[in-house]
Chains A and B, each alone.
Chain A
Amino acid sequence: MNHNDFNKLYPRRTGLLTPRNMEKAGYAGLTVLTILTVLPIIAVVIYILVQGAPAISPSFIFDMPRDGMRAGGIWPAIVGTIYLTVGTAIFSVPLGIGAAIYLAEYAPDNRVTQMIRIAIINLSGIPSVVYGLFGLGLFVLFLKFGSSILAASLTLSIMTLPVIISTTEEALRAVPHAFRVVSISLGATRWETIRRIVLPQALPGIVTGVILGLERAAGETAPILFTGAAFFLPRLPQSPLDPTMALPYHLFVISTQVPGMPVQIQYGTVLVLLVFVLGMNLIATWIRSRARARRQW
């Protein structure tokens, strides 16, 4: 078919609705939609920055609160949130990644594993206050850990696990099956294959899942409310069995429970929490992009 015949058979559309114009309109539309979704987030961040920045100073970060928390700093809340996040990571990261490796690489595909998977998905939909009550019953009362960093970290771990397990499992499954077959055909064991090929390939996805889970843990109030969060403590926690102050709960306290609270301190606290969480995000992005640069396929 020569070009003229082609044009006769499929005449060019003219006017406003040419495919080219529709493509342009669609592109513009999608761009606008994207901006619309990002705009509120940017607005919130800017608002908090403007309101909170004046409060930020070395003494705000590193001092203990004074005058019934109306003055001084928020150091114990910052330290507490770090303790809780690290504690949560200690329990949930090895357990979550281990469970995901089992589910993705070893578990037979039968009814039991399907049920486990469904249970995990449903667990991530449970409201966080339910985890709080569960932690109170199990860790604080039954296991007698008392209201403590240990009990709160364990509670947060249970809440975080489903996120870590399902994102890690997904990341492992995204690694092409053929790599496993090749590795095994070269005399590697399953575990060597996982360690040398599958895990490095899945690392970016796993890191994303872990950080997402830990971020949620760092920002939650309800699960630690009954299990380890303190309204006010005159000194930093000395052991994992001490209760602790924490940024999200402290924020709740100074926003609702303390009359005559300077607005500045509230927004300053919000800003610190935000920086904490965004900082974790940044680390995740950094690890992801490094892993992607080293990825070789």
Chain B
Amino acid sequence: MSLFEIYDLTVEYSDGTESLQGVTMNIEANEVTCLIGPAGGGKSTFLRVLNRLNDLADVKKVSGKVMFKDMNLLDPKIDVIDLRRRIGMVFARPLPLPLSLYENVAYGLRTAGERSKAKLDRAVEQALRQAQLWDEVYDRLDAPASRLSGGQQQRLCLARTLSLEPEVVLLDEPTSALDPISTAKIESSILELKERYTFIVAPHSIQQAGRIADHVAFFLQGELVEYQPASEIFTRPRDKRTEDYLQGRFG
């Protein structure tokens, strides 16, 4: 059984945009699945379905079936709080909360009710190490997070998501605003951690997908055009449109 089994997923925004149309795919655990495609293809919408952040957006209609283990994520009655602790998200822009470094990383655990200072300390250190930020910040955990550089802030955001030890980490163009060094650190974190987590990433370039992906899904205007193991899709794309996109002929 796959971790996610998605069947005929359709999402319509209240302005009438059908940003996903009949998407059917399975996503495997402990892999890096990349969603590629030109702007407006529906990659962000897809990611937000998986942790129900679309509840905050102007969505009119969601239909189909999205099974995460034995839970249907489209069921309005599921515990979304618990879901978001199990499926975390990192956004395109580094978005530290207006708190200290430490409190940023501890935020999720604190809201989950963790009081023990020792446990929080340990979780914060582990998450910061996993995001490859610990060595740069261990001596100023009480400083405001806004003082970090953009690349450090984004790694802080990754650590903040990892601190809850989620099962799945969604990353929506996590390196689109970053320098090459921070980008490389985030990519290597992903590769090192995929033993423990499942990553679903909208990479900011095809090259990035090439460096990290096990599976690649190509979205075009809400349609899932092709979904293949990375080695397949990059060498032998089946669909003409995928080939055109990979060769930079549009988007």
A interface with B by C-beta (< 8 Å) = 178-189, 192, 196-197, 200-201, 295-297
Contacts and interface: CB of A to CB of B under 8 A. Distances in A.
Given A186-B84, A187-B111, A181 B99 contact: no
A290 to B, nearest CB: 15
B51 to A, nearest CB: 7
A296 B100 contact: yes
Given A181-B95, A187-B164, A296-B145, 16 more contacts: A179-B97, A180-B56, A182-B95, A182-B97, A184-B56, A185-B91, A186-B85, A186-B88, A186-B108, A187-B81, A187-B112, A196-B107, A197-B97, A201-B98, A295-B98, A297-B146
A187 B53 contact: no
B81 A189 contact: yes
Of the candidates B53, B107, B144, B157, the one having the most CB atoms from chain A within 10 angstroms of its own CB is B107
16 contacts: A178-B95, A181-B91, A184-B53, A184-B56, A185-B51, A185-B91, A186-B85, A186-B111, A186-B161, A187-B81, A187-B82, A187-B84, A187-B108, A188-B108, A196-B107, A295-B98
Of the candidates A179, A180, A186, A196, the one having the most CB atoms from chain B within 10 angstroms of its own CB is A186
Contacts of B93: 178
A185 B107 CA distance: 11
Nearest to A186: B108
A179 B146 CA distance: 13
Give the 6 A-B residue pairs with the shortest CB-CB distance, closest first.
A296-B144, A186-B108, A187-B85, A297-B98, A188-B111, A297-B146
Contacts of B155: none
A30 B126 CA distance: 55
B89 interface: yes
B160 interface: yes
For chain B, the bracket of interface size reads 20 to 34
Contacts of A186: 84-85, 88, 107-108, 111, 160-161, 164
Contacts of B84: 184-187
Interface string B155-167: 0010011001000
A189 B110 CA distance: 12
A183 B160 CA distance: 11
Nearest to B86: A187
Contact of A179 (B56, B85, B95): B95
B107 A296 contact: no
A181 B98 contact: no
Contacts of A192: 111
B53 A181 contact: yes
Contacts of B111: 183, 186-189, 192, 196
A189 B107 CA distance: 12
A195 to B, nearest CB: 10
A187 B96 CA distance: 15
A141 to B, nearest CB: 48
Contacts of A200: 98
B56 A181 contact: yes
A173 to B, nearest CB: 16
Nearest to A179: B97
Nearest to B146: A297
Nearest to A295: B98
A187 B85 CA distance: 5
Contacts of B88: 185-186
Nearest to B57: A181
A106 B96 CA distance: 24
B70 to A, nearest CB: 20
A185 B51 CA distance: 8
A296 B82 contact: no
Contacts of B164: 186-187
